Amino acid sequence: MEGAFHGRTVVVTGGTGALGAAVLDRLLDEGAICHVPTSHAAAPRGFVFAKHGRVTLSANVELGDPTSVEALYATIPDLWASIHCAGGFAMSPLGQPGSDASDDTFAGMMDANARTAFLCCRAAARAMIASGTTGRIVNVTARPGLDLRKGAGMSAYAASKAAVAALTVAFAEEFKGSGLLVNAVAPSTLDTQANRKAMPKADFSRWVSLGAAAEAIVYLASPGNATISGALVPIYGSA
């Protein structure tokens, strides 16, 4: 039985990370042909899809560099969807001596989250328009990017994810009526091994599973989503 993405080409940034890998797993189940950029020269250790027949790992791609990003998308024919899971996180409490609320932290969060999303959205849209594809773009913002009071202690991260949300809505409005749909999901804390290690006393049952987040992302990127654009989908679990 053919899946919803059978024969469709999808870029997944951050595909070697926890959320990206969960998205890849769902896409491959649905028959997608996946391209995964990485800044490394080869597949990182533990990347389980390195030898999958429908996964192409594009090495030495810097998602914060416009030339590198444009070159990546120029090599991908018939792009259907671009899913942007790449990003970073840093705490940045303002009122504590020796805190991480430095200029470098703010710039780093904006580069890792907002800049990469902007460059990939732009390159993907250009590729789709050039090929006449009415495709899909899905970004990943976060709860502190929508519910700004949740950004206390992590203001640089919250600002960068709020920028991702703004970019998503603006791009969706720009392409309204073209058939190109742009959306974002906004998870609260994801249930990853890294988060469990960082917060061992938390109630993990209240966190969002990688599978649930991936399911929402894949639906928004699918041909089954024929009308939703400009949505910022909260995925908060029971938090």
On the question of pLDDT at 219 being above 90, the answer is yes
On the question of pLDDT at 127 being above 90, the answer is yes
For range 171-184, the mean pLDDT: 95
For range 82-87, the mean pLDDT: 98
- Any domain includes 143: yes
- Any domain includes 30: yes
The secondary structure of the chain as a DSSP string is ---TTTT-EEEEETTTSHHHHHHHHHHHHTT-EEEEE-SSSSPPTT-TTTT-TTEEEE-S--TT-HHHHHHHHHT-TTEEEEEE-------B-SSSTT-S--HHHHHHHIIIIIIHHHHHHHHHHHHHHHHT---EEEEE--HHHHSGGGGTTBHHHHHHHHHHHHHHHHHHHHTTTTT-EEEEEEESSB--HHHHHH-TTS-GGGSBPHHHHHHHHHHHHSTT--S--S-EEEE-TT-
- Any domain includes 1: no
Question: What are the tens digits of pLDDT across the range 135-160?
Answer: 999 999 999 999 999 999 999 999 99
- Any domain includes 200: yes
On the question of pLDDT at 77 being above 50, the answer is yes
- Any domain includes 102: yes
Q: What per-residue confidence (pLDDT) applies to 9?
A: 98
What residue numbers bound the domain in which 61 lies? 9-235
Question: What are the tens digits of pLDDT across the range 90-103?
Answer: 988 776 655 556 77
Q: What per-residue confidence (pLDDT) applies to 239?
A: 74
- Any domain includes 139: yes
Q: What per-residue confidence (pLDDT) applies to 43?
A: 86
Task: Give the CATH number of the domain where residue 33 resides.
Answer: 3.40.50.720
- Any domain includes 4: no
111 vs 2 pLDDT, higher one: 111
- Any domain includes 103: yes
For range 185-213, the mean pLDDT: 95
Count how many domains the chain has. Answer: 1
Question: What are the tens digits of pLDDT across the range 34-49?
Answer: 999 999 998 888 899 9
For range 110-119, the mean pLDDT: 98
